[in-house]
């Protein structure tokens, strides 16, 4: 068990969200489902929380109520090795959600995601600041990130 796991607060949709996320990513599973008991404030037998794993990372989805909605101040960062991976995760997670910019989107539950190619970090960390600045400028104009366009900016084409 990992020492620290994100807990995502939902308004009655924890189980639905956990099932959705485990359908999007490979090597994923629902680990446990906890139900309200007579001692809980929720409806007895209803889903209180779901623990699930995505690619070895453990999460908890909690049905906490409507008091605390998600904001983009916290997002889940997905490392992608190819454009195909970016396209796949983007199309699945955006379903019922909304795009933002620079590879960010908000899914149908309000959770923010960053779908980012690993190549982007390499290009942004280049010691040639002119190249890195061109990549940053190109990225700032994008919604879903496009590796070919980022590489084009990197080369100065």
Whether residues 135 and 87 fall in one domain: yes
Q: Nearest 5 degrees, angle CA 11-CA 109-CA 53?
A: 95
Query: Which residues constitute the domain of residue 145?
Result: 70-157
Query: Tokens 């992608």 — which residue?
Result: 80
Q: Choose the final residue of a domain: 28, 51, 68.
A: 68
Whether residues 63 and 78 fall in one domain: no
Q: How many residues does the chain have?
A: 157
Q: Render 92-116 in DSSP notation, one character per residue.
A: HHHTTSEE-STTEEE-TTS-EEEEE
For the chain, the average pLDDT equals 96
Whether residues 37 and 100 fall in one domain: no
Whether residues 83 and 60 fall in one domain: no
- Tell me, what's the pLDDT at 43? 82
Whether residues 81 and 145 fall in one domain: yes
The CATH number of residue 18's host domain is 3.30.720.100
Whether residue 40 has pLDDT greater than 90: no
CA atoms of 126 and 73, how far apart (whole Å):
27
The CATH number of residue 95's host domain is 3.10.180.10
pTM value is 0.93
Nearest CA-CA partner of 155 in 123, 125, 120, 117: 123
46-95 pLDDT tens trace: 999 999 999 999 999 999 999 999 999 999 999 999 999 999 999 999 99
């Amino acid at each position: 068990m990992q020492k620290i796991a994100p807990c995502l607060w939902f308004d009655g949709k924890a189980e639905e969200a956990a099932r959705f996320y485990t359908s999007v990513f490979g090597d994923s599973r629902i680990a446990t489902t906890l139900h309200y008991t007579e001692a809980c404030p929720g409806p007895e037998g209803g889903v209180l929380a779901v623990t699930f794993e995505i690619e070895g990372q453990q999460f908890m989805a909690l049905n906490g109520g409507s008091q605390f909605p998600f904001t983009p101040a916290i997002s889940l960062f997905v490392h992608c090795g190819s454009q195909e991976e970016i396209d796949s995760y983007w199309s699945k997670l955006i379903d019922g959600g909304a795009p933002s910019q620079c590879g960010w989107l908000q899914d149908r539950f309000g959770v923010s995601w960053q779908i980012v190619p690993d190549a982007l970090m390499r290009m942004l960390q280049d010691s040639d600041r002119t190249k890195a600045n061109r990549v940053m400028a190109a990225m700032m104009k994008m919604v879903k990130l496009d590796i070919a366009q980022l590489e084009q900016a990197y080369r100065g084409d």
